[in-house]
Amino acid sequence: MLEIKNVTKVYNTGAIQFQALKGVSLKVEKGEFVAIIGPSGSGKSTFMNILGCLDVPTAGEYYFEGIEVSNYTEDQLAGIRNKKIGFIFQQFNLLPKLNAFENVELPLIYRGMNVKERKERVLQVLEQVGLSDWAHHKPSEMSGGQQQRVAIARALAGDPPLILADEPTGNLDSKSGTEVLEILKELNKNGRTILLITHDMKVAGSAQRIISIQDGLIVE
């Protein structure tokens, strides 16, 4: 599914060069549930950005489903993100002016799906996360747990093989957090690959495999 070979990432902040990743290699098989843990400043976020095709590595290779994407253009990466990856963020990252339905619909609009198919698909995933009755509510009218479930629905709308969850429980109470983790496990059972980024060992426990990252290097 994913293969990363000796990836480095260097940030140029004015005079100082900061090496966030110092040669990381990782292979994730299809259908795996992998947790990546590490303290803040460990390079965990940088790693996630590269895995999520939000950023490109300074050096090294990245194969996504066997295709090298490390030198893709910005728009090509946008295509990968749209079709292959579903994002779940700590901050939910829903658009506040759109209601749940429209938020979930957005990736499908960018994909160019027609109205009828879109509507069908959005209602289907909203039902899957148990929010059918909340389709026309704005995020501000929902609880944190509900907002995160809308975000999950949005991630699922495009039916991507990979779900990338960045601290998905970080802003939730423990009950909602458990619910979200249950949904992730369920998704994994249905054959989706899950990458879970967290600093919380308890959360990471849901995964089958835990990868620890420290100072820009993987320490298994």
Q: Taking CB under 8 A as the rule, does residue 185 contact other proteins?
A: no
What string of H, E and C letters represents the secondary structure of 9-45?
EEEEECCEEEEEEEEEEEEECCCCEEEEECCCCCCHH
What string of H, E and C letters represents the secondary structure of 128-142?
HCCCHHHCCCCHHHC
User: What's the closest the beta carbon of residue 218 comes to other proteins, in angstroms?
Assistant: 21
Cβ closest to other proteins, residue 66 vs residue 112: 112
Q: Taking CB under 8 A as the rule, does residue 95 contact other proteins?
A: yes
Q: Of 12, 67, 75, 174, which lies in the binding site for other proteins, with binding defined by CB under 8 A?
A: 75
Tokens of 102: 């429209």
Which residue has 């496990």 as its token pair? 185
Q: Which of positions 102-121 make contact with other proteins (CB under 8 A)?
A: 106-107, 109-112
Q: Taking CB under 8 A as the rule, does residue 93 contact other proteins?
A: yes
Cβ closest to other proteins, residue 42 vs residue 206: 42
3-state SS class at 173? coil
Between CA 207 and CA 69 the distance in angstroms is 26
Q: Taking CB under 8 A as the rule, does residue 83 contact other proteins?
A: yes
Pick from 28, 39, 31, 26: nearest CA to 201: 39
Size of the site for other proteins (CB under 8 A): 26
Q: Which of positions 142-161 make contact with other proteins (CB under 8 A)?
A: 154, 158
Cβ closest to other proteins, residue 27 vs residue 111: 111
User: What's the closest the beta carbon of residue 220 comes to other proteins, in angstroms?
Assistant: 26
Backbone angles phi, psi at 8, to 5 degrees: -120, 155
Taking the mean position of all CA atoms in its chain, how far away is CA 169?
13
Cβ closest to other proteins, residue 93 vs residue 124: 93
96: Cα within 13 Å, side-chain hemisphere: 2
Cβ closest to other proteins, residue 38 vs residue 139: 139
Q: Taking CB under 8 A as the rule, does residue 78 contact other proteins?
A: yes
Q: Which of positions 42-71 make contact with other proteins (CB under 8 A)?
A: 49, 52, 54-55
Number of Cβ atoms within 10 Å of the Cβ of 70: 18
DSSP state of 88: E
Name the residues that contact other proteins, by CB under 8 A.
Answer: 49, 52, 54-55, 74-75, 78-79, 81-83, 87, 89, 93-95, 97-98, 106-107, 109-112, 154, 158
